[in-house]
Chains A and B, each alone.
Chain A
Amino acid sequence: MPVIKKKERVEPFIPTASMADIAFLLLIFFLVTTTIDVDTGIGMVLPPKLEEDVIPPPIKERNVLKILVNEQGQVLLEDLPSAVGLVRDQVKKHVLNNGVDPRYAEATDKALVSIKTARETPYDAYIQVLDEVWMAYFEMWDSEARQLGYANYRDYVAVVGQDNPIREKIKAAISIAEPDAA
């Protein structure tokens, strides 16, 4: 009987000192496994499926800047061999030509850039060219935004929004060619 009495005297007490440690352990696990980084990439909108009886509208040859990437990743720009680094300037010249040079586009809103690749072209080479073309548009938007008094295009978007006059004026018209047309 005295044994039971002794037991009763022990205060029921759960040590909570290690509680924080357990929580820390879990916290560190979730800290390590969390990925907060957002996906980045080059956004494109594919052309809608062609209806069989609809003929695509005719486009003047001079309004299209043709870029061809071959199996070795070499670039042919308007039938002339070119380097990837030159694409950006050529695209800008083409889009901002406004009918001055007969080799480039008639007007900014009519300018098109067409990228064609062979089936064996490595994806790396294609992305490099596509990136250069997009950078040309980004730089044109940037300079437009600067003329309107913004630091860059991103600041302009933050104020005006994604559908804005700059995008209306300089549309990123990039055509990813139809494979059967190759």
Chain B
Amino acid sequence: MAGHFKQKSKAKQDIPTASLPDIIFMLLIFFMVTTVLRETTVQVRTILPKAEALTKIDQKRLVTYLWIGPKKLPDNAIGETGVQIDDALVEDLSSVRSIMYRKLVEQPKLIVSLRVDGTSEMGILMDVQQELREAGTLRVNFSTKRDVVL
């Protein structure tokens, strides 16, 4: 028996590491492909409310975001409520209509994800909703975080 074991121990013990970089590169490429770097800086504060009745949006390419919340000012201060689409604040609410209409022409199944700060007032959201109706972008999603219910 002892001799048998000795024979086995003569076998080469090191694991070939030559393919290690290849494995790592495979993983790397996977994450590179799936990564979406945040392309916009949000200029308004949006602390999303929590809810239970959630639906998921699986198709990210259908989604366009619209932020409503108090504007971020230097020194962590917050200003009056602003509306942001893509990477710019919308000064005149009536321009929401034309922006959204143009997006709808490009993507007929457009979903507008409304990321609204919890402290914002409904008035501005109502105005935005009316603009969305004018544009014909009727599918909206009130973005909320998952409320953990035990």
Q: Which residues of B contact A (CB under 8 A)?
A: 17-18, 20-21, 24-25, 27-28, 31-32, 34-37, 49, 51-58, 60, 63, 111, 113-114, 116-123, 125-126, 129-130, 132-134, 136, 138-147
Chain B residues with CB under 8 A of A131: 51-53, 144, 147
Q: Which positions in A face B, CB cutoff 8 Å?
A: 16, 19-20, 23-24, 26-27, 30-31, 33-36, 38-49, 117-124, 126-128, 130-131, 134-135, 137-138, 176, 179
Majority-rule SS of B interface residues: mixed
Given contacts A39-B143, A41-B144, A130-B142, is CB(A49)–CB(B136) below 8 Å? yes
B132 touches A123 (CB 8 A): no
| A20-B17, A36-B34, A49-B133 known; A126+B122 contact, CB < 8 A | yes
Q: Which 7 A-B pairs have the closest CB atoms?
A: A119-B123, A134-B53, A30-B31, A23-B24, A131-B51, A124-B118, A41-B143
**B140 contacts A45, CB within 8 Å?**
yes
B21→A40 contact, CB < 8 A:
no
CA distance in complex: A130, B54 (Å): 11
Please determine whether A42 and B55 come into contact, CB atoms closer than 8 angstroms.
yes
The answer to whether A33 and B146 have CB atoms under 8 Å apart is no
Cβ of B75 to closest chain A Cβ, rounded Å: 25
Docked-complex contact B123 and A40, CB < 8 angstroms: no
Evaluate contact between B126 and A179: CB separation under 8 angstroms.
Answer: yes
User: How many whole Å from B96's CB to the nearest CB in chain A?
Assistant: 13
Instruction: List B contacts of A30 (CB < 8 A).
Output: 28, 31-32, 35
Q: With the chains together, A34 CA to B56 CA distance in Å?
A: 18
Once the chains bind, are A127 and B53 in contact (CB under 8 Å)?
no
